[in-house]
Amino acid sequence: MPTESARRKRPSMVAMTAKITAVAVAAAIALTGGLAIQMAAGQDPALASKGKHQAPAGGSSSGQASGGQTNSAPAQVVTRTS
Amino acid sequence: MTSVRPPGASELERRIDLFGTEVRILVGAPTPRRAPGNQVAVVAVEQLLRRHHALLTRFDCDSELSRLNADPREEVPTSAILAGALRAALNAAELTDGLVDPGLLGQLERAGYGSSRVGVAPADLREALLQAPPRCPARRRQGADWQAVEIGEGFVRRPPGMRFDLGGSAKGHAADSAAACLRGYDSFAVDVGGDIVVGGNAGVPRVVVVEHPLGHHDLSFRLGRGAIATSGLARRIWRTPNGFAHHLIDPSTGVSAWTGVVQATAVAPTAVEAEALAKAALLSGPEAGVRVLERGGGVLVLDNGTVRLAGPAAQAVRSAA
């Protein structure tokens, strides 16, 4: 049988749950915050391994016009033989 | 010192097909008290570029350029836009000591580029390079007609029979004219088929990607203000009964130039200058081409896909992979 003093030192179930929840919340905030910072910088982590630049959004087919909003950072431009 | 503000509202983007290529207009938020909303700017720039295209295309017999080329008179009245484009072409010729020659329309037509190639698939560049003649740098023509052209208030005077191909300089001039309308905005880019002007009062650099014509890794660098242009063989190249031809003519021979360079990209203050330097660098070949690009910076891609960097771009460029 544990003594009375040993029983007092053991953390309660409520305290353990609170600690685990706090750690999980902190990890989730760090992860999503990091992703948000990378996305805001124009670096989509999901695309990081692609070798070629991504086709910009809102492409047009021949003879047509199109438009839209880009990200808040200045959009990338591509120079090529035309 | 250039101040840098974080970008504000997102840029408005518009894409249209003009000048036989894709045009892209990007305009950020208006700088406070300096300009109307960017929707107004995008529409105005699109209208300006359409006007340039309508007047300067050689593939419409009713364009002002076609009418000038068909006019037997020595002195012909011109609109301000045509006069500006002609001045740009002459400036390009002077800047490149005649390597970029606006008076080669006849040679271009004889090479097989008499009509628009929009919608026509280009020939295979690798195959063309295998069959191309020995490489040598292009040279200017002695006594070229462009040296005798005079542009005055509302008229152009040129040697009888001289016809103009404004080609790349018309695109560059259009991009510069459009950019001049966008000085009141935090950020902007006008991309006329790879001839690009970037700028904006926020001073935020923009990523510029240089596409590799042979499918190797693209390169990229950041540019806050200025122009970039690329000239190359990959898109306007075709088969002929004797092999292959493309649209970059050696002024001294009057036929397509095979110099050992397949693409050149130049950075300069204006798109007209960048376009002229890119074309001159390609026509000059691998060694002299690097020297052509030294001042503003640039990128050469050689026949075997090797990349050579020149000037300030050599420090700034990195693989886009």
ipTM of the complex: 0.83
The whole-model pTM stands at 0.80
Nearest CA in chain B to A59: B15
Cβ of A12: how many Cβ atoms within 10 Å?
Answer: 8
Residue A13 pLDDT: 74
For residue B315, what pLDDT band results from cuts at 50, 70 and 90? low
Q: How many angstroms separate the CA atoms of B95 and B168, rounded?
A: 14
* Chain A CB within 8 Å of residue B44 CB: no
Q: Which domains does chain B have, with CATH numbers?
A: 12-319 (3.10.520.10)
Cβ atoms of residues B23 and B221 within 8 Å:
no
Residue A9 pLDDT: 59
Tens digit of each residue's pLDDT (9 = 90 or more) over B177-193: 999 999 999 999 999 99
**Least confident piece of the model among A66-80, B43-57, B235-249:** A66-80
Contacts of residue B317 in chain A, CB cutoff 8 Å?
A: none
Contacts of residue A71 in chain B, CB cutoff 8 Å?
A: 10
Question: Across all residues in chain B, what is the average pLDDT?
Answer: 92
Closest CA to B301 of B262, B274, B272: B262
Q: 3-state class of B191 per DSSP?
A: strand
Identify which of B9, B15, B196 has the shortest CB distance to residue A65: B15
Give the closest-approach CA distance of A55 to chain B in angstroms.
Answer: 11
* Chain B CB within 8 Å of residue A49 CB: no
Nearest CA in chain A to B20: A82
Cβ of B165: how many Cβ atoms within 10 Å?
Answer: 23
Q: How many angstroms separate the CA atoms of B234 and B226, rounded?
A: 25
DSSP summary character for residue B249: B
Residue B46 pLDDT: 97
One DSSP character per residue, chain A reads ---HHHHHHSPPHHHHHHHHHHHHHHHHHHHHHHHHHHHHTT--GGGTT-SSPPPPSS---TT--EEEE--SSPPPEEE---
Give the closest-approach CA distance of B187 to chain A in angstroms.
Answer: 7
Nearest CA in chain B to A47: B321
Tens digit of each residue's pLDDT (9 = 90 or more) over B11-69: 999 999 999 899 999 999 999 877 899 999 999 999 999 999 999 999 999 999 999 99
For B128, the token pair is 């063309």
Give the closest-approach CA distance of A49 to chain B in angstroms.
Answer: 8
Q: How many angstroms separate the CA atoms of B187 and B22, rounded?
A: 20
Which amino acid, B21? T
Give the closest-approach CA distance of B75 to chain A in angstroms.
Answer: 32
Interface test with chain B among A43, A54, A61, A77, by most B beta carbons within 10 Å: A77
Give the closest-approach CA distance of A14 to chain B in angstroms.
Answer: 46
Q: Could you state, in order of their start, the residue ranges of all structural domains in chain A?
A: 12-39
Identify which of B22, B208, B234 has the shortest CB distance to residue A60: B22
Would you call A77 and B206 a contact, using CB atoms and an 8 Å cutoff? Answer: yes
Chains A–B, number of C-beta pairs less than 8 Å apart = 135
Average pLDDT on B69-75 reads 96
Question: Across all residues in chain A, what is the average pLDDT?
Answer: 57
Residue B3 pLDDT: 44
Would you call A79 and B194 a contact, using CB atoms and an 8 Å cutoff? Answer: yes
Tens digit of each residue's pLDDT (9 = 90 or more) over B174-230: 999 999 999 999 999 999 999 999 999 998 999 999 999 998 999 999 999 999 999
B220-243 burial by CB neighbour count: b if 16+ within 10 A, else e? Answer: bbebbebbbbbbbbbbbbbeeeee
Nearest CA in chain A to B203: A74
Q: Which residues pair with B244 in a beta bridge?
A: B239
* Chain B CB within 8 Å of residue A5 CB: no
For B146, the token pair is 């462009």
